[in-house]
């Protein structure tokens, strides 16, 4: 992951189509276009796992079904705890056989319709009541030793003592890089994070939508509304503020913004 930062490789989030899409074929086409564009630019495509609890297709089945090329350094799969054990192994086996090595392991967003891993599925019965990213990390490392490079999420908007305590457990469980929730300016908690873990690659998320209220919804806590929000300018300032960090771009506009980010990271 460090070399992504050194080589200024953006992490670009792409969402697979939703399960209830009315125009599935068109959505698949669009997904393939975005994915291929990210590959050609030398960036890293980050494929979400039922983000916000919305039922969507898996990154691995998209890659298989659409016959997309996997460049190991350029693909990251998000993986949450809302799967059956069988599906989890399907996903991990596909990752392994396709040579996907980067995983972002998160507890994730559930919904009534999504199954949830049980403590007994991952050998954590009696230890926890609910499977979180910590148990999932341990389980993957035990079943697929040395196969994947796993990252975890860090939310600077949650009460810091809890978030740091949880982060420590995630790192102890085998995580080797960190991606934060979006920040739009200098953030005290992120500063503290960088100070605490100078040797762990940290990727900060940049919010590429003009709609800041969506950001509040995505992180769970209210973020002061700023009507003048300019994503591209903010991205520039984040590079200046956090030159030691990589950057993950959420909700990047492929039509309107993609061509603008080319020369920003200098």
Ligand X SMILES: Cc1cc2nc3c(=O)[nH]c(=O)nc-3n(C[C@H](O)[C@H](O)[C@H](O)COP(=O)(O)OP(=O)(O)OC[C@H]3O[C@@H](n4cnc5c(N)ncnc54)[C@H](O)[C@@H]3O)c2cc1C
Q: Which residues bind ligand X (CB under 6 A)?
A: 52, 109, 159, 218-220
Q: Is 161 in the site for other proteins (CB under 8 A)?
A: no
Q: Is 141 in the site for other proteins (CB under 8 A)?
A: no
User: How many angstroms separate the first and last alpha carbons of the chain?
Assistant: 18
Q: How far is the CB of 128 from other proteins (least distance, A)?
A: 4
Q: Is 115 in the site for other proteins (CB under 8 A)?
A: yes
CA 266 to chain centre: 23
Only segment of 154-162, 186-194, 223-231, 234-242 that touches other proteins (CB under 8 A): 154-162
Listed residue (23, 101, 12, 89) closest to 58, CA to CA: 89
Q: Is 232 in the site for other proteins (CB under 8 A)?
A: no
Using Cβ positions, the residue closest to ligand X within the complex turns out to be 220
Are β-strands 11-14 and 246-250 bridged in parallel, bridged antiparallel, or unpaired? parallel
Of 73 and 158, nearer to other proteins (C-beta) is 158
Asked if 203 and 11 count as a contact pair (C-beta separation under 8 A), the reply is yes
Asked if 151 and 177 count as a contact pair (C-beta separation under 8 A), the reply is yes
Alpha helices in 99-180 (DSSP H): 133-143, 160-172
Of 107 and 187, nearer to other proteins (C-beta) is 107
Report which DSSP code applies to 34.
Answer: H
Helices 160-172 and 133-143, axial angle in degrees (round to 10): 10
Interatomic CA distance for residues 62 and 193, integer angstroms: 35
Q: Is 196 in the site for other proteins (CB under 8 A)?
A: no
Of 55 and 232, nearer to other proteins (C-beta) is 55
CA 139 to chain centre: 19
Only segment of 95-103, 112-120, 238-246, 257-265 that touches other proteins (CB under 8 A): 112-120
Q: 239 contacts which partner out of other proteins, ligand X, none, CB within 5 to 8 A by kind? A: none
3-state class of 56 per DSSP?
strand
Of 88 and 150, nearer to other proteins (C-beta) is 88
Residues forming contacts to other proteins in the complex (CB under 8 A) are: 19-20, 24-25, 52-53, 55, 57-58, 61-62, 65, 84, 87, 107, 109-116, 118, 128-132, 134-135, 158-159, 162, 166, 217, 220-221
């Amino acid at each position: 992951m460090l070399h992504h930062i050194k080589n200024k490789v953006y992490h670009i989030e792409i969402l697979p189509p939703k399960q209830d899409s009315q125009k599935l074929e068109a959505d698949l086409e669009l997904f393939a276009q975005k994915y291929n564009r990210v590959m050609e630019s030398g960036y890293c495509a980050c494929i979400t796992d039922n983000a916000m609890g919305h039922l969507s297709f898996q990154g691995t089945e998209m890659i298989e079904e659409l016959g997309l090329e996997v460049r190991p350094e350029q693909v990251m799969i998000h993986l949450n705890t809302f799967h059956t054990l069988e599906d989890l192994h399907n996903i991990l086996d596909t990752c392994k056989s396709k040579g996907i090595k980067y995983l972002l392991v998160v507890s994730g967003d559930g919904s009534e319709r999504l199954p949830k891993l049980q403590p007994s599925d991952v050998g954590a019965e009696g230890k926890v009541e609910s499977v979180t990213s910590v148990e999932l990390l341990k389980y993957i490392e035990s079943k697929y030793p040395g196969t994947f490079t796993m990252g975890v999420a860090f939310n600077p908007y949650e009460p810091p003592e809890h978030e740091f305590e949880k982060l420590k457990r995630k790192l102890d469980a085998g995580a080797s890089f960190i991606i934060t929730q979006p920040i739009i300016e200098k953030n005290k908690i992120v500063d503290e994070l960088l100070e605490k873990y100078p040797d762990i690659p940290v990727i900060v998320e940049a919010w590429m939508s003009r709609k800041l209220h969506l950001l509040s919804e995505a992180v769970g806590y209210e973020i002061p509304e700023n009507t003048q929000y300019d994503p591209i300018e903010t991205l520039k300032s984040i590079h200046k503020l956090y030159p030691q960090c990589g950057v993950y771009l959420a909700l990047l506009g492929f039509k309107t913004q993609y061509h603008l980010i080319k020369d920003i990271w200098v």
